A and B are shown apart, each in its own frame.
Chain A
């Protein structure tokens, strides 16, 4: 299985600021995704990070709020912009290759105050 390093593991941020979360994989992967898990809830897909092109966003998520980069096959970033307390969640990086099982990073626990 892929080893996924997600940074930071947690942060407390002021409202109105932005936070960039990094996801680094130890091997090349086909697909990289970003999920959000609100407190006590299940996982919701934010977007698919596409290498060298704009991410594909799910309904309810927009690029201005959650800009995503994926410059190569092993790295992606998710930015949570202009944060409000409603953005307090766990943000998770997920990777998979060639339709095989999907693996998750440890998550970034974000608290907005």
Chain B
């Protein structure tokens, strides 16, 4: 069936460098995408979202890029900090279906 998935399960980043986390989706009807951060022992925390009528959206130290042609989503974290170490999930939904479908998750580890 259609799903949302991540290219890489783990990412190790040097503190201060930029991080890029990728996500592929297969549902062409998906029109809303969210990135979540989940720290150990906590629930997923909303980071940033983007709708399908946009290609890029920026937040504080984070940027989400959406390429609808190849059904690809990425999260860029600028100047990665130790507090950014977590599992990152992309999620999508389509139309009036409010249910979210989640990708497998990428574990980001920041090296001091």
Which of chain A's residues have a CB closer than 8 A to the CB of B98? 30-31, 48, 96, 99
B43 and A106 contacting across the interface, CB-CB below 8 Å: yes
Question: Given A103-B46, A107-B43, do A42 and B99 touch, yes or no (CB 8 Å)?
Answer: no
B100 and A102 contacting across the interface, CB-CB below 8 Å: yes
Q: How many residues on A have C-beta within 8 angstroms of the other chain's C-beta atoms?
A: 23
Query: In which size bucket is the chain B interface?
Result: 20 to 34
Which of chain A's residues have a CB closer than 8 A to the CB of B25? none
A43 to B32 Cα, complex, angstroms: 17
Count: A-B pairs, CB below 8 Å:
47
B18-55 interface code vs A (CB 8 A; 1 in, 0 out):
00000000000000101010000111111001000000
A92 to B98 Cα, complex, angstroms: 16
Which of chain B's residues have a CB closer than 8 A to the CB of A43? 44, 89, 91, 100, 102
**Interface, chain A (partner B; CB < 8 A):** 1, 6, 30-31, 33, 41-45, 48, 92, 94, 96, 99, 101-107, 109
**Interface, chain B (partner A; CB < 8 A):** 32, 34, 36, 41-46, 49, 89, 91, 98-105
